[in-house]
Amino acid sequence: MTRDSLSVVGKSVHRSDAVDKVTGKARFGADRSVSGMLWAAVVRSQRPHAELLSVDVSMAEKLSGVEAVVTAKDIPGNNVVPVVFRDQPCLAAEKVRYVGEPIALVAASSPEIASEAACKVHITYQDLPAVFDPLEARKPQTVNLFGDDNIFKHWKIRSGDVESAFAKADVVIEDVYRTPYQEHAYIEPQAMLATPISGGGIEVFGAMQCPFYVQWALVDVLGLPYSKVRVIQSVTGGAFGGKEDVPSLVACQAALLAMKSDRPVKLVYTRQEDIRSTSKRHPAWIRYKSAVDKQGNLLAVETEYVLNAGAYATLSPVVLWRGTVHAVGPYRCENVRVDAYAIATNTVPSGAFRGFGSPQILFASESHMDRLANAIGMDPVEFRERNLLKAGDTTPYGQKLKESVGSLEALERAIEQSEFHQKRKQFSVYTDDNHLRRGIGLACTFYGVGLGAGGGYLARTGAFV
């Protein structure tokens, strides 16, 4: 089969939205305005962990132009934004768990008045001990945020006899790797317009990746049936995972104000607010230990993968699962022990981000593969070629690879087209006198296209006759 005979691979894709985007006709989340619309602002916690002794909204309510103020006690349904767990409130009621957590909402006739009113909400805190490092958070007698150990999820992989493989290996290397937060930096901040509709329902228009997540949350928070909740996804100005679970919270905030004021309400986060209070790529701590023989065969991998999940679980258990599956990389290894943890801390909740938990562990595993190759004096390409998964292999988590894997072919093509060996040799001869350094790196990975088939069908419709 040649590329010319294929109908999709190697062919240009027509962008049906291209003309609207370049001419400015596309309507993003913040672009829609309607008659009688109010503007919203969010009152956020200034403490990482504290009891809420009082939330006084009286001064905000007296400000001219303010039409609605909402706190947790005004929520008609359940004060929870469901994702994987039902642990995150729409508005903090008794405690705050991170700086930036929503406490109250204000709707006013202009964004300036809404912002001023938000500053007039007086909150009395009783500070509590806080923990920011996941390694500290999982220790006994630390600050309790979730369960008995602050562990949202623990995934495991067990395969073969790791200890025996380490004992017989010619080379064993153990390292610790860390990766930081990463901001999505999508060009459009979080934005929603909520409009009351006839019959006591609500319509929400805004930027999102998962409209059914948003509808699910609105049904829960507003106490409405699915038939009375309409969600419209706008053209989304960048997301990268950052508009997967967070828009559920933003939509509920706008909708609560719209229902209370009986007016359309637009909520657009400022850039500072968006960066401060929305999900990020999980910071990770990774301990990686592996073993090889003198021929370069990967004999064993043991890794501990710890994600800082933040104050609430959001999508962390699923992100962690993806990283767990990627812990050994695209390599054949019979002896594997992986322990992966998503841990609660008093930081902004982490969530979905492009790669979904795999980039952090990939950074560690591929750095480690280079270390192993160097330790036995083997070329990093040859080392990977020797250990890459191929058809007939079984992964550490039990998947039999029955079809063509393509890993070796992809690596060979990448090495050829990048002129890897020539450039690596050329770059290595530079002397200390040169102020400019050049280099070339190599990394291999794999990635599935689905999260699994274990889910059931969801019934979203309903009607009263």
Residue 235 carries which DSSP code?
A: B
Q: What does CATH list as the number for 38-128+192-269? A: 3.90.1170.50
Where are the chain's structural domains?
38-128+192-269, 134-183+280-416
Contact (Cβ atoms closer than 8 angstroms) between residue 38 and residue 108:
yes
Beta bridge partners of 68: 107
Query: Residue 464's pLDDT is what?
Result: 44
User: How confident is the model at residue 457, as a pLDDT?
Assistant: 46
Joined together, the tokens standing for residue 75 give: 């929520």
Query: Which pLDDT value is given to residue 440?
Result: 92
The pTM is what? 0.92
Q: What is the pLDDT of residue 461?
A: 52
Report which DSSP code applies to 423.
Answer: H
The per-residue pLDDT for range 301-332, each reduced to its tens digit, is: 999 999 999 999 999 999 999 999 999 999 99
**Which residues fall within 8 angstroms of residue 427, CB to CB, at 6 or more apart?**
438, 439, 440
Q: Which residues contact 89 (CB under 8 A, 6 or more apart)?
A: 72, 79, 80, 81
| Most distant pair of Cα atoms in the chain: their distance | 83
Same fold, 38-128+192-269 and 134-183+280-416: no
Burial class (CB in 10 A: 0-12, 13-18, 19+), 194: buried
How many CB atoms neighbour CB 151 within 10 A? 17
Ranges under pLDDT 50 in the chain: 452-458, 463-465
Class of domain 134-183+280-416: alpha beta
d(CA 134, CA 150): 9
Residues 96, 84: Cα–Cα separation, whole Å: 20
- Provide the pLDDT for residue 437: 80
| End-to-end CA, the chain | 57
